[in-house]
Copies of this chain bind each other. A is one copy, B any other.
Amino acid sequence: MNEFRKAPALEVSEWFNTSVSLKLEDLRGKVVLLHAFQMLCPGCVSHGIPQASAIHEYYKNRGVQVIGIHSVFEHHDVMGKKALAAFIHEYRLEFPIAIDQPSEDQDIPLTMQKYRLRGTPSLVLIDQQGRVRLSQFGRMSDMQIGDSIGQLLAESKGSDVLESNDPSGVSTDKNNCNTESCSI
């Protein structure tokens, strides 16, 4: 068996979209996805954040907790709490978001340091036992993320985790194609 690193505690100066501070140790039994971003990072805005929102939407009732971390390591003076609040409001983000605690003497904030992230966007997957299982800087495909989460979700379960939705009969619709599909 591999040895996995226990996920370090999050260092947070402020939370958005949650009435309570989220702590990793309270999330045992769930898969946790950390999405580190900066509001002025173009790749975060164009694909990282929309992807995190899609993960939140798909998995929120399936045992996965998405947490955004605003890990500012540049342009600190224009990506403060008030700017982030406006950003979250205008982009209508719904998942919990934490401000990564700034360092007193370095540009890189504390959670980012502890997780050894290389930049933004970064994605970290923490398994149901609280261990770091994946840490990826840059773009990651939806398929790969789904695959990774699916595997982590399956670890705690017995076999047959995927429910069948094998249809019981043939549709009676008439031959017809639209842009999505052709039905019998």
Residues of A within 8 A of B (CB): 1-2, 4-5, 38, 40-48, 54-55, 58, 73-75, 77-78, 80, 82-83, 86-87, 90-91, 108, 112-113, 116-121, 125, 127, 132-139, 141-155, 158-171, 173, 175, 177-184
Contacts and interface: CB of A to CB of B under 8 A. Distances in A.
A2 B160 contact: yes
Copies in the assembly, this chain: 4
Given A116-B168, A150-B146, A162-B151, A182 B90 contact: yes
Contacts of A55: 143
A78 B18 CA distance: 23
A90 B160 CA distance: 39
Given A42-B177, A116-B168, A151-B162, 9 more contacts: A1-B160, A42-B178, A42-B179, A73-B175, A108-B170, A143-B145, A147-B153, A151-B151, A154-B154
Nearest to A108: B184
Contact of A74 (B139, B166, B175): B175
A119 B161 contact: no
A182 B74 contact: yes
Contacts of A166: 4-5, 116, 132-135
Q: Which of A47, A138, A160 counts the most B-chain CB atoms under 10 A from its CB?
A: A160
Contacts of A151: 150-151, 153-154, 161-162
8 contacts: A1-B160, A41-B181, A47-B180, A78-B80, A132-B166, A137-B171, A141-B146, A155-B161
